[in-house]
Structure formats: C-alpha cells, structure tokens
Amino acid sequence: MAFATVTSGHVILPTTVTYSSFRRQFNSSSHHTSVSIPSTTAIRRSRSCSLFLGTSLLLTDKIRRRRISRFSPSPISTCALSAAVDSKPTILITEKLGSAGLDFLRSHANVDCSYNLSTEEICAKISLCDALIVRSGTKVTREVFEASNGRLKVVGRAGVGIDNVDLQAATEHGCLVVNAPTANTIAAAEHGIALMISMARNVAQADASLKAGKWQRNKYVGVSLVRKTLAIMGFGKVGSEVARRAIGLGMNVIAHDPYAPADRARAIGVDLVSFEEAVSNADFISLHMPLTPTTSKIFNDQTFALAKKGIRLINVARGGVIDEEALVRALDAGIVSQAALDVFTEEPPPQDSKLVKHERVTVTPHLGASTMEAQEGVAIEIAEAVVGALQGELSATAVNAPMVPLEVLSELAPYMILAEKLGRLAVQLVAGGSGIKCVKIVYRSSRSPDDLDTRILRAMITKGIIEPISSVFVNLVNADFAAKQRGLRISEERIFYDSSLEIPLNSIEVELSNVESKFASAISDNGSIRVVGMVKDGDPHLTTVGTFGISVSLEGSIILCRQIDQPGMIGMVGSLLGESNVNVSFMSVGRTVVRNQAIMAIGVDEEPDKETLGKIGDINAIDEFVLFKL
Ligand SMILES: NC(=O)c1ccc[n+]([C@@H]2O[C@H](COP(=O)([O-])OP(=O)(O)OC[C@H]3O[C@@H](n4cnc5c(N)ncnc54)[C@H](O)[C@@H]3O)[C@@H](O)[C@H]2O)c1
Ligand SMILES: O=C(O)[C@H](O)COP(=O)(O)O
C-alpha cells in the first residue's frame, strides 16, 4: 500500500495518512534519494501527526533550530494534513469502561466497544484503530502491534499495572502506552481491608457453609484486629491508604519500604522497619509492592520461616510477589493460618489450584479496582489521557518512551545509558534511612548550558532511581512528574571541564543525600551516597564510588567489596566464584592509600548463590560487600 508519493524531492501525503504511517514509509523509503521531511510547523497542524513530536519539547532552542533548518519546510500537503485533522480517530475498547469516560471518548472519536475478544479477533480489527483501551484482562501482545500496520498510536490501560501490554513491542512500533495510576488507589486499599476483615471473621467460609444448609457457629470463631500488628509491605499509594484505615481499626501498623520517606510514614503514624522486622513482628501482613525482579516471589519458604506461627496474609498487589507453592506449604504447616488473595501468578488461576481451593484461603478474582467509583474515575483518567495523546499532547501518565529525535539520540545515547545505570546503581546502594528525597546531579562538561540538553539525562537518572523500586514506568515525558509524585527533589549542577567541545560530557555524578547505604564505602565525605561515571569507548563506566576511584564497565551483575589492600585478595574471591562456576567478566581495584583500604569491583556473568556470597563475606580482609544488577 502506498502511503506517500515522492515528487520533485517532496513527500505528498494522501488524505488518510497518519504520521506513524508516514514515518514508516519515510523510513522504508531510504532508496529514494530526494525525500524531504515536512517542517515541524506543518506537522503540528495535524492532530494525528503531532503525537510523535512530544520529544521536540525536550530539545533546547539551539538543537530545535538546528533540527528545523535541517528539516526544511516543503510545499507539502497542508490540505492533506487538514483532511487528517477532520477525520475522527477510531478507538477500540475491549473491556467494560465507566460511562463518563465512554461519553468523553465518543465526543472525540468513533468508539468500538467489543468485549471478550481473542487476540486473533483484536488483530483482525486493530489495523482500523488509532487507539486501544484495555484493563488487565486483555493481552496486548506483539502480534497486536504488528497487525496494526502502524495505525495504532496509543494503548490506554484503564488502571495501574501494564503487565498485560508488551511495552517493548509498543515502543518498537512507535505506539505510546498510557495508564491511569491514581483513580483506583482507594478501591484497592478498601479491598485489602475488606479481605483482611472477612478473612479474620471467616465471612466467606461461613457464608458458603450456611448456604450449604449448615449452622456452624463454633467452627467459624474468628480473631479480632484491634491491637494486632499489621505489617504493610510497600508503602506507596495503596499501602499508605491501607495503613490509615487499619490505624482507624485500632491496629498497630508497621511498614517495610526501603524507598519510602520515613517522615511521610511517621505523619500517618507508621514506623518503617526492615523486611525481617516487619515479617517477624506481624500478626497480619498486607502486600502492596509492585512486581519487579526484586519482589518476585519475595514471600517464599525462607520468608515464611521468619514469621510468627499463625500469621495472616493479604495480597491485593500482584500474584507473582508470592511463591504460591511455598504459601500452600506454609498454610499446611500452620505458619500461615489464613490468606486472602485478590491476585494470582496466573490469571485466572488453574481450575485445580491448591491455593484457590484451600479451606483457609479467601479469594476474589482480581477485584481490587472494581468499584463503581474507581471504574468511573479510571475511565475518565484514561479517556483524557488517550484523547490527549491522540491530539499530540504530552501525557503525564505515558509509560513508554516516545520517539527521540535522531540528532539528540546519536549524540547523547551513550550518556543516557550511563545516566540510567548510575541511577540504578545509586538506588541499589540505599539501605533505608529517611527515604530518598534529594538527588544531586553534577555534570562535568566543556559545553555551555544551552548547548547541552541535560533534561534527557536527568530523566534517565530519574528512571534509573524510580523504576527498580516502583510500579511507575518513567520516560522522557513523565520523569519530572514521577519524581515530583514521589517527593524526589532533583538538583543539577554544571561544572566546567576543559576538554574538546566534540565530547558533550566528561562525567556524570549522582548523589543521594540523607540515606543510609548497605555499602558504607559508597558514602562520600558529605554523607551522601555518591557514584560517578564516564563514557569510555562508547560504553558506560563507573569511575568513583564514595571516595574510592575505580574503573568498571557498568553492565550485568557486579560485586563491590571493600577490603584491606593486601596481596591475594583478587585470587581469593576469584577462586570462590570459580568453585561455584560463576564466570568473572572483569575485575578492578581502586584504593585511597596503598596497603590501606581498597575497593574491588568484580563483574560476574552469573549471579552467585547465597552460599558463595556468604563465603566472600567471611573472608577476614573483606569489610563489606554488595551485589547489584544493572
Ligand atoms: N488488585 C488490584 O486490583 C490492584 C489495584 C491497584 C493496584 N494494584 C497493585 O498494587 C501495587 C501497589 O500499587 P501502588 O499504586 O500503591 O504503587 P506505588 O508505586 O504507589 O507503591 C509501591 C510501593 O512499593 C515500594 N517498593 C518497591 N520495592 C519494594 C520492596 N522490595 N519492598 C517493599 N516495598 C517496595 C515502592 O517504594 C512504593 O512505595 C501494584 O503492584 C499495583 O499493580 C492492584
Ligand atoms: O493494576 C491495576 O490497576 C489493578 O490491578 C486493576 O486491574 P483491573 O483494571 O483489571 O481491575
């Protein structure tokens, strides 16, 4: 199908063309020698064309001027673009959405509400749709993006979790994904409380028993909540609302969240404690952390072994944070006396699931967000986000990166990777304290501030800090919003560094202040966690941790050890890793004074097991060590 005709060096757009299809045609038409891109102004005239211009807002004036002059105006198709403005976009909605949101969508678009479609049925429709709106029950797979033939511009997730959307495929297909992260918070918190109370009083079991004709008053004696300790795991939006309500019920509430500000918790009347303290002191445990590589199966046999006998567990977060087989074992062993679950590793769970069928388990089919109010709120939130995105507005709830202009990307790409990795490293060094509040970024560069756009770098550092600890997805569009939402204050400082103007940056430094570190050597003289990195040969390198100089490629898994600077250390650690078949990819040692203290960085291809890490920790000359993943 022809999307554009190349005439006299200019692209003439047919009336139905969208910018994404135009872009694809442009990209795939590199064999034409004389194609010119329409001017930014001309593209802005078209609503449907302007979505991908979001990142132009991220450009400095200078870069923007350069871009505009390079992409010179062409006599294209103003009328063609106007025609595109007039045609309403089409939105496919595959799960039930609140009526106010639907009305709003209908006033801006042709809306096709088709529920319970299979992936094949969605694929059959999607090439005629500009946007798709789903909840957690629709899988938006790579095939959907492929079948859209470039027409699908926005996927709206009417809720928080986007585990059902293939983000990588969306990004590769230039499709923006937006979600509605706030409107169902209260509903999820209320469902957590509902599950806790009905579990404690056997409401579901007693109801089933009475309906089966029995009258079992002695069997269903419950437990009281007042003065019991509730541990909230994950003190974000939902967790803190559960805390407020549980305090109102007379419970003693503690929470574990290594990244939440302690003062925010204290203001609600909650103490933030360590993971072990939370699990071992709790009578009730309620889970509210996102599903991330760190939290996956965080409730496992070892965790249950820490708990008091007879604890009660509530999960309205994500099924994957619990090892479900371990939970069945803990229930059978009486460690967990009851569980109340809204979410499951696989949804719907298998028909013969031992967990679902367990007598002491109360289950609901992922109903956390299912109140009339939340669904109305979510529908409005997602409808506005989708319509805004179709009109080319920047969305504060965008969850994947929009297209980055090539000239900015090509210059800053390695520094963007460095920035994200420094953020990821810094946050993994945090042990707790009063939460992450202040981030200081220092750029050493020979460029003047208006010749180097650090907003992209700041966004990538923010992404690196927030994503490993949250369910929020951060990109160039929503980074500042996400930081503000979490109470992160980010300050930037530019230090002149005398070098060639061809090199945009000499180094990037990230400091997190007022936090404790699980690796004390990462603390610099001013008390902050400090990591500094450079781009060497196009790759990100760590050059300083705390006050120690080092040179390590920032990739894969890395073990950092602080040790007494003495011969044989590299061999000792290397042999331990070798014995457990862990391949070392690199090693580097940095020190302050010879034969005093040194930091050793060891890159490993496989993650060492706990036993091997324990043996490394047991080496006398090693004062401390930490393993982190980038
Ligand atoms: N059942 C439902 O219908 C329903 C509804 C809404 C939200 N949810 C789920 O609930 C969860 C929380 O949602 P939210 O909106 O409060 O998210 P949020 O991002 O506001 O809060 C998550 C909190 O977890 C913390 N955290 C991250 N890693 C942690 C760890 N290892 N240990 C302890 N805490 C950790 C983060 O610091 C953050 O404060 C998400 O998984 C979300 O998908 C489910
Ligand atoms: O992530 C969410 O927002 C919740 O899990 C709710 O999912 P739902 O929209 O399918 O109810």
Q: What is the pLDDT of residue 394?
A: 63
SS3 content of the chain, % helix, strand, coil (to 5): 35, 25, 40
Q: What is the pLDDT of residue 456?
A: 84
Residue 187 is encoded by which pair of tokens? 């509903």
User: What separation, in Å, do the N-terminal and C-terminal C-alpha atoms of the chain show?
Assistant: 43
| Closest alpha carbon to 243 in 222, 274, 264 | 264
Q: Of the residues 164, 366, 376, 472, which should be mutated to test ligand 2's pocket, given the most ligand atoms within 8 Å of the CB?
A: 366
Measured in Å, residue 512 CA sits from the centre of ligand 1 at: 22
CA separation for the pair 161, 137 (Å, rounded)? 11
Amino acid residing at 607:
E
Q: Of the residues 182, 259, 485, which should be mutated to test ligand 1's pocket, given the most ligand atoms within 8 Å of the CB?
A: 259
Ligand whose nearest atom lies closest to the CA of 343: 1
Amino acid residing at 385:
A
> Does the annotation count 347 as an active-site position?
yes
Q: How many helices (H) and strands (E) does the chain have?
A: 22, 24
Measured in Å, residue 363 CA sits from the centre of ligand 2 at: 16
Q: Whose CA is nearest to atom 34 of ligand 1?
A: 234
Measured in Å, residue 608 CA sits from the centre of ligand 1 at: 28
Ligand whose nearest atom lies closest to the CA of 97: 2
Q: What is the pLDDT of residue 43?
A: 29
Q: Of the residues 470, 481, 485, 486, which should be mutated to test ligand 1's pocket, given the most ligand atoms within 8 Å of the CB?
A: 470
Q: What is the pLDDT of residue 406?
A: 60
The CATH code belonging to domain 403-528 is 3.30.1330.90
Q: What is the pLDDT of residue 19?
A: 27
Q: Whose CA is nearest to atom 31 of ligand 1?
A: 295
Q: Where are the domains of the chain?
A: 90-179+378-391, 184-363, 403-528, 555-629
Q: Whose CA is nearest to atom 6 of ligand 2?
A: 369
Residues at CB less than 6 angstroms from ligand 1: 160-161, 184-185, 188, 233-239, 256-260, 288-291, 294-295, 316-318, 342-343, 366, 368-369, 469-472
Per DSSP, the three-state class of 384 is: helix
CA separation for the pair 456, 463 (Å, rounded)? 10
CA separation for the pair 192, 210 (Å, rounded)? 24
CA dihedral 301, 307, 312, 316 (to 10 degrees): -60
DSSP conformational letter for 450: G
Fold of the domain spanning 555-629? Alpha-Beta Plaits (3.30.70)
Measured in Å, residue 369 CA sits from the centre of ligand 2 at: 6
Measured in Å, residue 238 CA sits from the centre of ligand 2 at: 12
Q: Whose CA is nearest to atom 27 of ligand 1?
A: 469
> Does the annotation count 595 as an active-site position?
no
Q: Which atom of ligand 1 is nearest to the CA of 471?
A: 19
- Asked whether the beta carbons of 154 and 176 are under 8 A apart, the reply is yes
CA separation for the pair 612, 600 (Å, rounded)? 17
Q: How far is CA 314 from CA 290, 402, 591, in A?
A: 14, 37, 48
Residues at CB less than 6 angstroms from ligand 2: 135-137, 158-161, 184, 366, 368-370
The CATH code belonging to domain 90-179+378-391 is 3.40.50.720
Out of 95, 277, 347, 411, which one is annotated catalytic? 347
| Closest alpha carbon to 241 in 278, 186, 198 | 186
Residue 500 is encoded by which pair of tokens? 């060639």
Out of 108, 173, 264, 318, which one is annotated catalytic? 318
DSSP conformational letter for 552: E
CA separation for the pair 529, 521 (Å, rounded)? 9
Residue 368 is encoded by which pair of tokens? 């956390």
- Asked whether the beta carbons of 617 and 585 are under 8 A apart, the reply is no
Q: Whose CA is nearest to atom 11 of ligand 2?
A: 369
Identical topology for domains 90-179+378-391 and 184-363:
yes
- Asked whether the beta carbons of 64 and 343 are under 8 A apart, the reply is no
> Does the annotation count 486 as an active-site position?
no
Measured in Å, residue 158 CA sits from the centre of ligand 2 at: 7
Residue 57 is encoded by which pair of tokens? 């807002």
Residues of the chain with pLDDT under 70: 1-86, 394, 401-409, 432-434, 477, 592-595
Q: What is the pLDDT of residue 27?
A: 30
- CB environment 333-347: b (16+ within 10 A), e (fewer): eebbbbbbbbbbbee
CA dihedral 523, 525, 526, 531 (to 10 degrees): -50
Fold of the domain spanning 184-363? Rossmann fold (3.40.50)
- Neighbouring residues of 445: CB distance < 8 A, sequence distance ≥ 6: 452, 494, 495, 496, 497, 504, 505, 506
Q: Say which residue the tokens 């079992």 belong to.
A: 216
Measured in Å, residue 341 CA sits from the centre of ligand 2 at: 14
Q: Which atom of ligand 2 is nearest to the CA of 159?
A: 3
Measured in Å, residue 378 CA sits from the centre of ligand 2 at: 10
Residue 481 is encoded by which pair of tokens? 């919003």
Q: Say which residue the tokens 């965008």 belong to.
A: 398
Per DSSP, the three-state class of 262 is: helix
Q: pTM for the whole thing?
A: 0.71
Out of 366, 444, 486, 541, which one is annotated catalytic? 366
Q: What is the pLDDT of residue 590?
A: 78
